[in-house]
Structure 1
Amino acid sequence: MKPSENLMKVLLVGDYPPPYGGVSVHVEVVHQAVRAQGGICQVLDVGKGHLPADGVVPATGYLACAAHLARYALRGYRIHVHTSGANPKSWMLASVCAAAGRLSPQPPIVTFHSGLGPEWLAADPMRAKIACAVTNAFGNVIAVSDEIRGALLACGVSGDRIEVLPAFSPSFLHPGTPPPGLREIRAEASPLYCAMLAPGPVYGKETLLRAFGRIHAQNSRARLVVYGPGTELMGAEVAQLCGEAAASAVHAFGELHRPSALALIAQSDVFVRPTLADGDSVSVREAVALGRAVVASSVGTRPPEARLVPPGDVDALAAALLEAAQEHPSLRVAPAPETAAKTDCLQRLLELYSGATGAPGTASNAPAAEPAVPARPAKTNDNTTTLVENPACAASVAS
C-alpha cells in the first residue's frame, strides 16, 4: 500500500476488544492499519470492554457518545461506524453517526456486519423505512455480505453507494502463545477440532456438541477445543449433549485474547463454524488463511475453501467433520498473493479514508499493509428457535 498524500483522519465507531468479537477485532485491525499508513485514527468504543488503550475513547452514555461524535466531526474526522444493523440500538447509533457526519467535510461511512440484519429488517416495514432514511445519509455503505446488501436494497437504499467488502484482512494475522494446556491436548488428539462459541443459540453449540459426540464414538482420540465468552461455564451441558464419554474430550478455554485464539486455530486440524445465521465470519477467514480445513454451516457468506453443511443438521456436520479430518492440510506460510488481494479489505478502506473514489466493490489488488505470518507447530505425539443477536454475533476470534 502506498501512503496517501492526503492525511487520513478517521474516527472508528464500534466495539473494541475486549470482548474479542468479529466487529471488535476488525475495528482493532483497521485502527492499526490507518496508523501504520501515517494517518490519524481514533476509536469511539461503544462496546462493553472500555479498557484503557492508546487512541481509544470509551462511549460512557448516549449524551457523551453524541458529544464525542460532534467534537471529532468538527475537527475534520471522517466517521466510520461499524454496527450490526439487527436491532434498534444499532440503527440509533447509525442515525447519530450520520447526523454528526454532516458536521465534517468528510462524508461518513457505515459498515453493517450481522447476518441477522436481513431477517430483522424484513420483519417490519417501518424498520425498512428507517433503514432507508438512515443509510442514505451516509456517503459510503459497506455490507460484509451479498445478503446484507440485498436487504438494504430491498429497503430502498441507493445501490450506487453500497459495496460488499468482507471485514477481513490477512494483515496483522500473527498467532501468539497458545493457551495453557493446549500442548497436552494437541499431543493426544487425532484429529483436533476447534470452534468459537458464545451465549445464544445462533452459534450452534447444540449441533456442534451432538455431532462431536457421534465422532468421538467412532474415534476415541478425537478432541474438541472451544473458546469464546461463557464456554468455560458449559459444564454438565457438554455431557448432556455429546455423552459422558465424549465430554472428557471437550476442552473449553473461555474468552481468549486474539493472538492466543489464533494460536488455538493454527494448531487445530479442522475449524468448525456451526452457526445458524451469519454475516461473513472473520474467524472462518482466519482459519482459511492459517491453512486449516474448515467446516461451516451454509449461511451468510463463506470462502470457497470452506466445506459447507446445512445449519442445524447434526448428521451432515458429523460426516463433514470426519471427512475434513482426512485432508491433512499443509502449513501455509502466507496466503497466495491473488487470494490475499481478493480478501484484504484494508486497501479499499484506506482508499475511502484518503478520499479516493471508485466504483463500490472495486477493491485494489495492491498488497496488504503487512504479510500474514501464520504458523502451526507440528503435532507432538415444527419447533422454531428465535435467534437473538449477542454483542459478539458475527464475531471472530471470538467470531
Structure 2
Amino acid sequence: MPRDLDALTLAHCGRIPKVLFVGPYPPPHGGISVHVARARAMLARAGVRCGVLNIEKGAPASEAYIRVNGALDFLKQLARHARNDWTFHVHTNGHNPKSWLVALAGGLAARLGAGGTLTLHSGLAPAYLESGGPWRRTVARLTCALYSRVVCVNEEIADSLLALGVSWRRLEISPAYLPPSHISSTLPPDIGAWLSTRHPVLSTILFYRPEYGFELVVEAVERLRRKHARLGCLVIGGTEGRREAEALVRRHGLEEWMRLCGDVDHSLCIALMSRSDVFVRATYSDGDSISVREAVALGVPVVASNVGARPPGVALFPAGDADALVERVEEVLGV
C-alpha cells in the first residue's frame, strides 16, 4: 500500500492531524502530479486535514493547492507549515539537482515539523546518482537521512540508495498507484467521431521528452498501418514540444492515423485508455508507470518496454527496438 495511505491510520489515532504534500499537481497530468492529486483526495475524503504545496513552475491559481512563487516563497511556505506542526510528504523524480534540493528543503522542514516521508518516482534516478561525484551522492544520502521513510517505486531506485549508504530500514519499495475515483463516461464529440472510424486503437500517455520514446511510437504506427488501414493511435499528454511532435507526424504522413490529444483531465485520459485495444508504453527508462497499472486495472492489454517495474501480464519488448514493439502489438492483437 502506498505510504500516503499510512497517514489514514495514523490520523485516526491522532498522531498525524495534518499532512502537506510537496510536489507537482495537475495540470499538467503527469505520473507524479496525478499521484499527488489522488493521494490528497483520498486523505481528504477520509477526513484528514491535508494540503498541497505545488512546485510546478507556472502553475495556475487554484484552491486545490498552494502555488509557489519562487525559491524564497517555497522556503517560507515550508517553514510556516513546519512551525504549525504539519507532516510532510515530498514527491519528486530524483533525477536532477532541483529534485534533490526540493527533497533537502522538505526534509529539513520535516525535521522542524512533525516528520516526513520522501517518495522517489523516476527510473532515471539510479543513473543520475551513480554518475555523479561524491558531492551529489553525499547530498542524496544526507537528504534521505532527514526522512523517517524513503519510498522507492522500484527496486533499482532502492538499490542505488543502498549503494550510497542509506539504511535499508529507512527504505520501502512500493508502486505509486492509487485507483482513480472517477472515469469520464462521455468523450468530446470530435474524438468520439474519430474513434468510431478507427480499429484497432492504440493509446499512449507521455511527455514529448526523449526518454518517453515518442519517435518509436511514430515508427511503430507507420509500420502497423500498412497492415491495419483503419488503425488509430491516441497520444495523450504533453504540451511542451507538441509542435515538433506534430511536425514529425506530418513528415511520416500519419495525420490520419495519429491523434495528439494534448494534456487532458485525467478522468478523460482514463476513458480514452479504456476505449483502446492496446496501451503502449515505449519509454527508455521508467520508475513504476502509473499509466501502465491503470491500463492493467482497466483490462486493456499493455505492450511496454522492459525497463523499470512492470506488473504481471504486460507484454514486454526491449527498449528502443521498433521491430520488437511492432511484433508485440501484433501478438497482443492476435494477428
TM-score, L = length of structure 1: 0.77
Name the CA distance, whole Å, in 1 between partners of 2:173 and 2:327: 32
For the 8 Å contact 1:179–1:260, the answer to whether it is kept is no
Name the CA distance, whole Å, in 2 between partners of 1:55 and 1:317: 39
Post-superposition Cα deviations, 1:158-192, rounded to whole Å, max 9, x if no partner, equal 11010011111124252353234222222222210
Aligned mate of 1:140, from 149, 152, 158:
149
Flag structure 1 segments of 5+ consecutive residues without an equivalent: 328-399
Aligned mate of 2:322, from 309, 314, 330:
314
Query: Which structure has greater helix proportion?
Result: 2
Does residue 265 (structure 1) correspond to residue 273 (structure 2)? The answer is yes
For the 8 Å contact 2:39–2:178, the answer to whether it is kept is no
For the 8 Å contact 1:226–1:252, the answer to whether it is kept is yes
Where do 1:4-83 residues align within 5 Å?
Answer: 4-6=12-14, 8-83=17-92
Instruction: Output the aligned Cα RMSD.
Output: 1.7
Greater RCO structure (CA 8 Å; 6+ sep): 1
Flag structure 2 segments of 5+ consecutive residues without an equivalent: 1-7
Cα gap change, 1:72 to 1:156, in 2 (>3 Å):
same
For 1:290, the equivalent position in structure 2 comes to: 298
Cα gap change, 1:135 to 1:24, in 2 (>3 Å):
same
Aligned mate of 2:184, from 167, 175, 181:
175
For 2:217, the equivalent position in structure 1 comes to: 208
For 1:118, the equivalent position in structure 2 comes to: 126
Aligned mate of 2:227, from 196, 204, 218:
218
Where do 1:78-89 residues align within 5 Å?
Answer: 78-89=87-98
| Worse-matched range after superposition: 149-158 or 124-133 | 124-133
Paired letter, 1:32 = A
Aligned mate of 2:249, from 238, 263, 268:
238
Name the CA distance, whole Å, in 1 between partners of 2:64 and 2:187: 28
Paired letter, 2:227 = Q
TM-score, L = length of structure 2: 0.92
Give the paired residue count: 323
For the 8 Å contact 2:208–2:242, the answer to whether it is kept is no
| Identical-residue share of aligned pairs (%) | 37
Name the CA distance, whole Å, in 2 between partners of 1:183 and 1:28: 27
Name the CA distance, whole Å, in 1 between partners of 2:324 and 2:270: 26
Name the CA distance, whole Å, in 1 between partners of 2:259 and 2:224: 15
Post-superposition Cα deviations, 1:221-271, rounded to whole Å, max 9, x if no partner, equal 21111121237532331143xx32x44211111111111111110111111
For the 8 Å contact 2:204–2:234, the answer to whether it is kept is yes
Name the CA distance, whole Å, in 1 between partners of 2:69 and 2:277: 41
Give the 3-state SS of the residue equivalent to 1:114 in structure 2.
coil
